[in-house]
Structures are given as structure tokens and as C-alpha cells.
Amino acid sequence: MLPRLRLDLGAPAPPSLLGLFPHTVSHVWLEIGFGAGEHLAWQAEANPQVGLIGCEPYVNGVAALLGALEDRQLANVRVWDGDAREVLDWLDDASVDRVFILHPDPWPKLRHHKRRLISPETLHTLARVMAPGAELRVATDIGDYARSTLEAVEVSDGFRWTAECADDWRARAPDWPQTRYEKKARSEGREAIYLSFRRV
């Protein structure tokens, strides 16, 4: 399945990403680091009118997602089994309507913080590829990562945090299923933090 579903980054991005999918879709969403793919497969099944692009460099996670797509006969997913930054560089401006970054590697040691995915530089790139009004969803069970994400957004002119009350970041939205990483974090006594940002 992978050769059929893998993005062809050697060719220019199509004039519309909607054409990447075999049936008509109205929006395109992107998940960066989909892990074992349970969230991505859930979104694909719940939103057949949406085309989803998933990026994950680890072969076991890609294999798990492909198995789920085959079992559920889902055709609205395309995959990149490499560095998501390559996809971000490939995408045209304002071509994506929602982005998910769920439980990224926290790189907890201070000297490794520069390796964290969410940074002012990444947000600048995301602002370019996301359409005005598009949503960026971030989940983490590491308080320091949530804080550094909010700090990066604060200095960005591309996104606005949508939270209006504590429950907006303490509780998952109904269309935000739990991932195995979140389940593991909860079993180890860590609560997840759910951040939603709007592209301005």
C-alpha cells in the first residue's frame, strides 16, 4: 500500500491538494508524527469528506496505520514516511485546513530543547501552509512543552490561542480521540493538555 499512498515529493505539489485523493474531498488536514496512526485513522473514518496527509518516520507506526486503513477500507489518506519538514517545504501556501501535532517528542533535557518540533520557526512555516482560519491542534502531557508552545505562539503573528476557559485546554473536544501515547501518560499519572490555535 505504501507506494500507492506515499506522497511524491519529487514532483511539484498539485495546484490543489484535493486532487491527491481518489474521490471528492472538500478540505485537507495534516497530522505530523501520527505514531501508530489511531488518531489519523479515526479522523479519516469520521470525516470521509476530508483528505488527510500523515507524516511519520518510524516504519512500525506507518505499518500500523496502513493496516488500519486496509481493515477499514479508508481511501482518504496519503502518507509521508519521512521528515515532516520535507512535506511542509513541499506544500503550497494556504493549502491545509487543519494540522494536528499530538504528543510530540518533548526532548526534556534543556540542551535538547532546540530539537523540539514546535518553535517560532516551525510556526512560521505552518502559518504559510495553513489557510486563514485553519486550526492547529497540539497535545502534550509535558507542562514545560505546553508552556514553550504558548510562548512560541505569543511571539508569532500567525496564530491565536482559542481557549476561553480552563476546560478548553483540560478536556479533549468530542472529535479529538485519545491516542495510545495519551493513554500511557495517564497511566503514569500525567494529564494531557489540549491546545487549539487559529490561523489569523
**pLDDT at residue 108, as a whole number:** 67
Domains identified in the chain, total number: 1
**pLDDT at residue 106, as a whole number:** 80
Name residue, grid cell 517528542: 105
DSSP percent split of the chain into helix, strand, coil, nearest 5: 40, 20, 40
Q: Is the pLDDT of residue 175 over 60?
A: yes
Q: How confident is the model at residue 107 (pLDDT cuts 50, 70, 90)?
A: low
170 neighbors 146 (Cβ within 8 angstroms): no
Q: How confident is the model at residue 115 (pLDDT cuts 50, 70, 90)?
A: confident
What are the CA-CA distances from residue 87 to residues 30, 32, 38, 95, 101 (Å)? Answer: 10, 10, 21, 12, 14
pLDDT digits (tens, 9 = 90+) for 6-63: 999 999 999 999 999 999 999 999 999 999 999 999 999 999 999 999 999 999 999 9
Kindly report the CATH number assigned to the domain that includes residue 59.
Answer: 3.40.50.150
Q: Which residues are catalytic?
A: 105
Q: Which residues pair with 78 in a beta bridge?
A: 53
All residues at 6 or more sequence positions from 178 whose CB lies less than 8 Å from its CB, including other chains: 172
pLDDT digits (tens, 9 = 90+) for 48-93: 999 999 999 999 999 999 999 999 999 999 999 999 999 999 999 9
Residue 21 sits in which domain range? 2-199
* C-beta neighbour count of 170 within 10 angstroms: 12
Tell whether pTM > 0.85: yes
Q: Is the pLDDT of residue 112 over 80?
A: no
155 neighbors 121 (Cβ within 8 angstroms): no
